[in-house]
Amino acid sequence: MKNNRARHLFNIVCALMLAVPVLAMAAATPGAKAPEFSEVDAAGKTHSLENYKGRWLVLEWFNKDCPYVKKHYGSGNMQALQKKYTGQDINWLTVISSAKGKQGYLEPAQAAEVAASHNLNASAPFLLDADGSMGRAYGAKTTPHMFIINPEGLVVYAGAIDDNDSANPAVIPSSANYVAAALDASLTGGAVEVASSRAYGCSIKY
């Protein structure tokens, strides 16, 4: 009985030891180099991390059917952020990592229509990551899930858009926007007080 228990514990420890490196490689963490990517947008243009070398870049994960995405888009909050910061020469890419046949998946023509109907102010009409390679590389778990990459290619923020995980848009005015705070601090040479947070929203449908 004792031998079986010891063997069971040994197997658990081995599994955890094997799992830790995989998890570490599968997430973009603040201070680390941003994972490479190459994805095609709804207009057929390819975007890679190399295209944004030496420039600021925000990545945002999207699912049009998610209540939390609707919270920020239906209120105009996400579009306002996109407009404000792309107006300051910051690039912004919105990513759909839903697999074909799953909630949120869009064909290119559909994605272009959704980009127009949502008044998407990002620099591309959705990156279509149907195989989930980009999402998994960044460790994107929810919609929305946000990442900020600096001109040196390092992640300076990863997590939720703000500190209120309610799906009710009424809470937005009283919420602390982590993305805006991180960008404002970074652009003025200040320290990012909150560099990571627990992302909230709908799970990405890989």
- The residue extents of the domains of the chain are 27-203
pTM (predicted TM-score): 0.86
Q: Which residues does residue 60 pair with via DSSP β-bridges, in sequence order?
A: 94, 146
C-alpha closest to that of 138 among 55, 56, 201, 61: 61
**CA separation for the pair 83, 119 (Å, rounded):** 10
For residue 5 the two structure tokens come to 């228990």
Per-residue pLDDT of the chain (206 residues; tens, 9 = 90+): 444 444 444 443 333 333 333 333 347 999 999 999 999 999 999 999 999 999 999 999 999 999 999 999 999 999 999 999 999 999 999 999 999 999 999 999 999 999 999 999 888 899 999 999 999 999 999 999 999 999 999 999 999 999 999 999 999 999 999 999 999 999 999 999 999 999 999 999 99
DSSP class of residue 44 equals S
Cβ(129)–Cβ(42) under 8 Å?
A: no
Per-residue model confidence (pLDDT) at position 20:
32
**CA separation for the pair 22, 165 (Å, rounded):** 28
**CA separation for the pair 20, 54 (Å, rounded):** 31
What single-letter amino acid sits at 150?
Answer: N
Per-residue model confidence (pLDDT) at position 196:
96
Homologous superfamily assigned to 27-203: Glutaredoxin (3.40.30.10)
